[in-house]
Each structure stands twice: as structure tokens, then as C-alpha cells.
Amino acid sequence: MFCLCADEFEGGRCETDKAAQCYEGVGLYYRGTVSRSARGRTCEQWDSDTRERFMSSDVNEGRHNHCRNLLFRRRPWCQVRRNQRLVKEYCHIPRCGSESLPASPPPAATAPAPPAAASTCGQRSRRKQIKIVGGTVATAEAHPWVAAIFWRSESGEKVFRCGGSLISDCWVLSAAHCFPHGSHDKERRFSVVLGRNALNESDPTAEQRFRVEKIIVHDGFDDSEGNFNNDIALLKLRARGGKCAEESRTVKAVCLPPPRQSLQPGVACEIAGYGKEKQALWYRSQYLREARVNLLADDVCRHKDYYENMISDNMFCAGRPDWSQDACEGDSGGPLVCEVGGRLFQFGVISWGDGCAKEYRPGVYSRVTNYNGWIGEKTGLTSVAAGAAFPQNL
């Protein structure tokens, strides 16, 4: 058997639109044949590794130089030769329904030195190891803001409940769905461990443990649609001797970005947690693990092939172009952090998703920058509204 493609289509599966003159959304589904950048340079052919990882269903399995959007960037792009170097450039393709090309994103600015009184938030003690689903084992030094939240059952058994992130010496940010009774959950049954590398191993020289004084779940938390809207919560640590968490190589606070601040689709960010390594496993990872995911454009995540209207303005999605890495059960409440100006800022709280590392089902995260006012009101932290240490010229 063989197939004849309809007019204007070609490829083994008739997946390439020869007449495509524009792209929709951010161009993830663009299958046209434009092969020139917006600056007039001819695109280079896609390399074998890129074809194998991302383009197996493309025309000729990606053996071409047509523009594509492979890494959730702002629009279709390709690699071109500039001064004998391969560089990425956006392509000369208009957005459908627009008469002109979309504006290029502003160049990343060099971050100025933080204000003199700025905290040391968002700074690692040690770079993550080069060696979550599809992720790698990490250390507390690489993610010193990650918190492990435990719950004590009626029988006295200590059970890991969720992840969280240290945002100040006495406050941990987490997900609302981790606390089924809301703010009425009994605080005395919860405890928080900072600086822990493995759930079943304790290191008193690196860890700091605290009882929970208060649990605050967002009043607007709603799971009636199965999508965990306003999935955000705060835990106040019980001070010891007038002090809560003390900064060390394994314990540091993460930075919070300013209200409504957003990053461009395609930006690579990090997630970390103690969740399952694969969806089908009955057990969680015993070790802290990390993974890198790319931010998706909102209209992509709301596409009919993804989550459609389940995504509210309080959420965003992130995933890998090859769907190899993702958050999973047990990672809930943990942080999604992105590097800006040499510091790590928490833009997301791990919330929900359909499965783990599943095609067209990226992880969904609570949009932290929608809650600066709420966090400031509940915690009394004055730097939250402004976004401590955030570069002002981005």
C-alpha cells in the first residue's frame, strides 16, 4: 500500500504543509518549508542528534533545513552560520492573522549587583552534580532551599507528605493540595526537614529540623475541576531559641520574583524533589533528584492536544521537548526555579499533571508571581512584593 497526499502536503505521513505561510501559537505545529532566518541567512541542516531526539515524525525524519520550533521558543527558528559559528536565529515567518513578524524578544541584560541590603537568597553553595522522572541524583548543596515535609500518623509513623521551598528563615512555600484539611490540618503532626539528601538517611551536620507552627492554605484553593486552582500554601516554622532556619552550605532561602514577572517560553528551569522516578513505581525516590524542563507558552498548554481549559491564569506548564523529564507523584509542593542574573528565583510550585513524562501532558505549576501580595500579607515579609534581589533591567 502507498498513500497519495492531498494537494499542498507531502511527507511519509503527509505531515508537511508545502503552502504554509504562517504559524499559530508559538509554531510547535509549523511544518512549512521556509529555510531562511529573519536576517536573511540560509538555515543549516538539522544535525543527526536533533533529528533523532525531536524530529522522527517530521518530513524525511528531519533531514532538511526547514524552520521548526523544537525547544518551546517564541516562534520557529533554525541554526545559521555567523562568523563561522552555528547560532540560533528566528525565521522569517509571520504569525497567522498578523501582517507583520512578531517582535524579537529583548536581549538578556546583564544583571546589576544586588542592592547593598539584599539577602543572599537563590545562591548555591555548590553547583549541581553533572552526572523526578528522567532526572539525576542531586545534593542539598545544589538545592539548599528544598524542604521535605513529613506527617505523623495516628500510630506515630513519620510519613513523607510533600516537598516545599524555604523562602525566608521561618517560612516554607508548598502546595495547597498537600494539606487535605486545609488550614485546619493539625500543625503538631507536621514537621519540616531542610538540607536532606535522602529520605531514609539523616545527617545531623547538614540538616535542620523544625516543627510547624502554622499552616496557611490559600482560601481560593479549588479542585472542583480537577485542576488544583490556587494550589499554594505556607508553613510557618516553629522557632527554637528565637531562631528558625540558619543559613549554611545546605540550607538557604530561594528568591521570589516580582509580581506578574514572567519569562519567555523555552527558558530552561529546574525542578527538584523526592518523588517517583517513574509513574508506575509503587515507591518514591529515596534521594533528592533534579531535572531540567522548558517553560511552555500559555496558548500551547491550552491547546486541545494538551490541557485545554483546565489551565487557569494561576498556572503555567513546563516540560521537555522529548517528554523525557518531568515532576511526578511525591514532588508536589516543590520548587521550579529559574536562573536570572546569577541567582535562582522560584517561579513555580509543583502542582499537578496527567501522568509523569507523558507526551503532550507537561507538568503544571502554580504561578508564584500571582501570589506576591498574598505571601506578603500572610508572612509579613516586605521584600516579597518587590522581588528581593531581582535584576531591575530585564
Could you give the residue numbers annotated as active site? 177, 231, 332
Q: What grid cell was written down for 286?
A: 529515596
Q: Cα(175)–Cα(218) distance, rounded to whole angstroms?
A: 9
Residue 116 neighbours by CB under 8 Å, 6+ apart: none
Beta strands in 175-324 (DSSP E): 190-194, 208-217, 233-237, 268-273, 289-295, 315-319
Name the pairing type of β-strands 233-237 and 315-319.
unpaired
Rounded CA gap, 76 and 325, in Å?
A: 23
CA distances from 316 to 290, 319, 349 (A): 19, 11, 10
How far is Cα 291 from Cα 295, in angstroms, rounded to an integer? 13
Tell me which DSSP letter residue 299 carries. Answer: H
320 SS3 class:
coil
Q: Is 201 exposed, middle or buried (0-12, 13-18, 19+ CB in 10 A)?
A: exposed
What residues contact residue 333 under an 8 Å CB cut-off, 6+ apart?
A: 149, 162, 163, 164, 174, 175, 178, 233, 349, 350
Question: In the block, which residue shows the cell 553547583?
Answer: 127
> What phi, psi does 36 have (nearest 5°)?
-140, 140
Quickly tell me which residue has 500554601 as its cell: 233
- Identify the DSSP state of 249: S
Residue 336 one-letter amino acid = L
- Residue pair 76/36 in contact by the 8 Å Cβ criterion: no
